[in-house]
Structure 1
Amino acid sequence: MEDKELNLVDHLDELRKRLILTAFAFLVFFIVGFIYVKDIYEWFVRDLDVKLIVLGPGDIVWIYFTIGSIIAIAGTIPVLAFQAWLFVKPALKPAERKVSLSYVPALFLLFIVGLCFGYFIIFPTIMNFLVELGGDMVATNFTADKYFRFIMSTTLPFGFLFELPVVTMFLTSLGIINPYVLQKVRKYAYFILVIIAAFITPPDFISNILVAIPLFLLYEISINLSKVVYKRKLKKEQEWEAEFSE
């Protein structure tokens, strides 16, 4: 009983250490984003025909913290993934350690790809649709607060959602899930993805469809990649059994 309690304490200490290192990395990247916030801001508004307005001093502070947080999240993703890998490393087999470590850079790359997809494809598509919908009925002006909130809501979720294939492959390699389970719960997963699409887009049907379709494709890609990993895992297990039987 005491040994179990000691193991639990050791695990909690290790988890605390990993979380502290991750929080420190977030703080460092946040400071970097805060320092270069003006350059980043100018890049985001480079294609706007109008100048953004603020309704109070608090909005300016919010912009600084928002841009700093986006940079911090993007930079902390690989650190968080690596710290998570170090935490579970002792429980993994040598082969599983090698395979799972390769997922760390993939998580960061897919996060960046997701952000780019959201910003360069989803964001302008929805933005142009909504602006054209107003036509000549209204004068189009944007507050900095609402503009950046809109960018975040249409880009940041894709950064996390694009990591679904890698997470699925990782969990499949550990034997936690398999492609057949993913196929069985497909209709429930689609329902959840539709809810996510409705949550991160403006309340119109077209925007929901534009976001839901790539999410469905991501889920199907995840299933197919899970099948590849699952077949390789079964093949290795059969090879190990054949070696031990000899």
Structure 2
Amino acid sequence: MGILGHLGELRRRVMRMFIAVLLGWVALYGVGDILYDYLSSPLQACLPEGSKLIYTSPQGAFFTYLKVAFIASLFATCPYTFYQAWAFVAPGLYREEKRALLPLAFCSSLFFVGGAAFCFFLVFPLAFRFFMGFATDTIIPMISVEEYLSFALKLLIAFGLVFEMPLFSFFLSRFGLLTPAFMRRTRGYAILLIFIVAAILTPPDVISQMLMALPMMLLYEASIYVSKVAYREKESKKQKEESHE
């Protein structure tokens, strides 16, 4: 297939992805309020009695539900969009590349969802309980739906990405690009980098940064172990190949 044929195939695949996401977006907008209620449930459970989420512009709630429905559509149509992407790239891959890419895609999705779930079910309740503890009879939290959505998405995506660390350590070590000895030697620099990344990815408060930095430090230690396992497998395979020669 020539370059024009590949471009035509790419266009068809992208259009199918776009249509799938668009249809999902339209369908899920009807339950946008339900989705938002669930997304905001960790905060609402910690709000002082009588406090509610607000919107500060006439179109605030409308656009918030649109955003929530769009994000939900991206997740709901993810298997289909991945299939379309796979169908486009698979013919050009070698068998070994196919065998490596499929587990990587599956595990990557699993780790991302696990990180987001960790944030939603463990970090959110702790963080909101702490933040709402500053409310008094004269200081009442008035949080807008737009502000909460932005805050929640930043943390969910950040935790999802952070939980990919052991997976990338495994594959980098498997290909000889990373060693457990290097990770142990640079642990101090890694901890400094972790706090810098946490400060960038989270809202500008110490609690959110610590809630991300501490799991990242644990994940770094787990990544060292994963790297050790992957590197050992690589060295074992290399020795077997040399012995056969």
Same topology, TM > 0.5: yes
Provide the rounded CA distance (Å) in 2 between the counterparts of 1:79 and 1:175. Answer: 33
The residue number in structure 1 matching 2:36 is 41
CA distance in 1, matches of 2:135, 2:120: 22
Q: Deviations over 1:45-87 (max 9, x none)?
A: 4462533211113312331232134324434666677747974
Q: CA RMSD in A?
A: 3.5
Give distance in 2, aligned partners of 1:171 and 1:81. Answer: 23
Residue equivalent to 1:197: 198
Structure 1 residues 129 and 37 mapped into 2: Cα distance closer, same or farther (>3 Å)? same
1:159 maps to 160
TM score, norm. by length of structure 2: 0.77
**Which runs of 5 or more structure 1 residues have no equivalent in the other structure?**
1-5
Q: What is the Cα deviation at residue 215 of structure 1?
A: 1.0
Q: Could you say which residue in structure 1 is the equivalent of 2:127?
A: 126
- 1:237 match: 238
Give yes or no for contact 1:164–1:219 (8 Å, CA) kept in 2. Answer: yes
In structure 2, the gaps of 5 or more residues are none
Counterparts of 1:166 and 1:78, CA distance in 2: 20
Cα offset, 1:224, TM superposition = 1.4
Counterpart CA distance in 1 for 2:162 and 2:25 is 22
Aligned residue identity for 2:231 = Y
**Counterpart residue identity of residue 68, structure 2:** I
The SS at the match of 1:116 is helix
Q: Distance in 1 between matches of 2:91 and 2:184?
A: 29
Residue type of the alignment partner of 2:66: F
Distance 2:196 2:169 in 1: 20
Q: Determine whether 1:183 maps to 2:184.
A: yes
Work out the CA distance in 2 between the residues paired with 1:156 and 1:133.
27
Give the % identical residues: 27
One-letter amino acid of the structure 2 residue matched with residue 34 of structure 1: Y
Cα distance in 1, alignment partners of residues 73 and 180 from structure 2? 33
> Which residue does the alignment assign to 1:66?
67
Query: What pairs up with 1:86-235 in 2 under 5 angstroms?
Result: 87=89, 90=92, 94-95=95-96, 97-235=98-236
How far is the alpha carbon of 1:17 from its aligned partner?
Answer: 6.0
Please say if residues 159 and 212 of structure 2, whose CA atoms lie closer than 8 Å, have aligned partners that are also in contact: no
Contact 1:26 1:73 in 2 (8 A): yes
The one-letter amino acid of 1:170's match is: F
Name the aligned partner's letter for residue 43 of structure 1.
Y
| Separation in 2, partners of 1:199, 1:13 | 37
